[in-house]
Amino acid sequence: MNKTNGLSLSLADLAERLGATLVGDGKRCIGGLATLSDAGSSDISFLANKAYLKYLANTNAAAVLLHPAHAADCPAKTARLELDNPYLAYAELSRLFDPLTMQASSGIHATAFVAEDVAVGRDVEVGPHAVIEAGAILNDDVIVGAGSVVGQQSSIGAGSRLHANVTVSHGVVIGKRAILHSGCVIGGDGFGFAHDGGRWHKIAQLGGVVLGDDVEVGSCSSIDRGALDDTRIGNGVKIDSQVQIAHNVHVGDHSALAGCVGIAGSTRVGRHCMLGGGVGLSGHITLCDGVQITGMSLVTNSITEPGVYSSGTGAMSNGLWRKNAVRFKQLDEIARRVTRLERQGRSE
């Protein structure tokens, strides 16, 4: 697939859009975006990480986004767009050149099923074989991909895109400009049962899910509906693929959850938190604002101070690990032996 969308913009135009200082020929036209090593003569590239500085000297890019501090490293033949946050500028250009964003709405496909009482805004697109159930609301500029299902009385905020095969269950509220990736499920039942007589008795999950504005949910992720109250995801929260968010969890604004994170029921995650890949949070705990958890850590208690937290052991060769893992089972005993030795030393 073409990685560009046919757009061609002059460097002067790009510099103005990005608020960058241009050094080079403002009339030169740019048709795409690429890495320093892959860029061709009609591409723009960027330097946002010193590790890639080595590719700058030999890039074929027509122009490079970079911080003024790196101006001297840029070959003379290459135009420069200087700005404070080249990575942010790259983000903006990536959206500008995205083939998906240029496609005009194709309306409601003939094979889609939209229930009679669905409220449909302006420029809404519903793909082949998608299903919009009774009482749902699709606000302006919503795109629902092929095979996606929007359940009864759910509402999708303006400008949101559901990719193919997304499931939004009944009674779910999705904010504006959401991006929901294929296979994700918003509003499946929370895992709630009463135990009696050796059996599990279903607790119907009567709550819903409320997503704020500008939320993204990765492919095959699950956000479960609340038991009585709603599961709540704040504004600007970004959720990667294969994430599980249990019932009644709240995630604060602008937090980011990497792939394979699991959050158990009723836990509160603050604002501006970052959970690394595979992190697990126990149920009924609270993380304050600004907490970062490194990959695959398990958090079983509330965290009340911002900062970086970890658990687990680093990886090592299996032979060394076997010896150490056996010792871990003796660790309390070893600690007691050290204390005893210290006492003996003092008493001598």
Q: Which residues are catalytic?
A: 247
Q: Which of 212, 236, 252, 270 binds a second copy (CB under 8 A)?
A: 236
Nearer Cβ to a second copy (26/52): 52
Only segment of 13-21, 57-65, 74-82, 169-177 that touches a second copy (CB under 8 A): 169-177
**Binding to a second copy, residues 216-235 (CB under 8 A):** 216, 218-222, 224, 227-229
Q: 7, 12, 120, 296: which one contacts a second copy (CB under 8 A)? A: 296
Work out whether 147 is an interface residue with a second copy (CB under 8 A): yes
* In the complex, minimum distance from the CB of residue 191 to a second copy, in angstroms, rounded to a whole number: 4
Q: Closest separation between CB of residue 160 and a second copy, Å?
A: 13
**Ramachandran category for residue 81: left, alpha or beta (phi over 0 → left; psi -120 to 50 → alpha):** beta
Q: Give CA–CA dist 115/110, Å, rounded.
A: 13
Q: Does 300 bind a second copy (CB under 8 A)?
A: yes
d(CA 132, CA 143): 12
Rule CB under 8 A: say whether 71 interacts with a second copy.
no
Shorter beta-carbon distance to a second copy: residue 71 or 325: 325
The CA distance from 39 to 59, in Å, is 7
Instruction: Please give the C-alpha separations between residue 295 and each of 180, 279, 312, 316, in angstroms, as whole numbers.
Output: 23, 6, 9, 16
Q: Among the candidate windows 7-15, 18-26, 66-74, 301-309, which touches a second copy by CB under 8 A?
A: 301-309
Non-local CB neighbours of 283 within 8 Å, separated by 6+ positions: 246, 264, 265, 266, 267
120/125 Cα distance (integer angstroms): 10
Whole-number minimum distance, CB 225 to a second copy, in Å?
10
Q: Is-contact 249 273, C-beta < 8 A?
A: no
DSSP 150-178: E-TT-EE-TT-EE-TT-EE-TTEEE-TT-
313 touches a second copy (CB under 8 A): yes
Task: Check residue 294 for interaction with a second copy (CB under 8 A).
Answer: yes
Position among 79, 240, 269, 275 found at the interface with a second copy (CB under 8 A): 240
Local structure of residue 83 (DSSP, 8 states): -
Site for a second copy in 261-280 (CB under 8 A): 262, 264, 272, 277-278, 280
Distance CA 348, CA 345 (A): 5
| Residue 151 in the binding site for a second copy (CB under 8 A) | yes
Residues binding a second copy: what is the number (CB under 8 A)? 141
Work out which of 171, 175, 234, 270 binds a second copy, going by CB under 8 A. Answer: 171
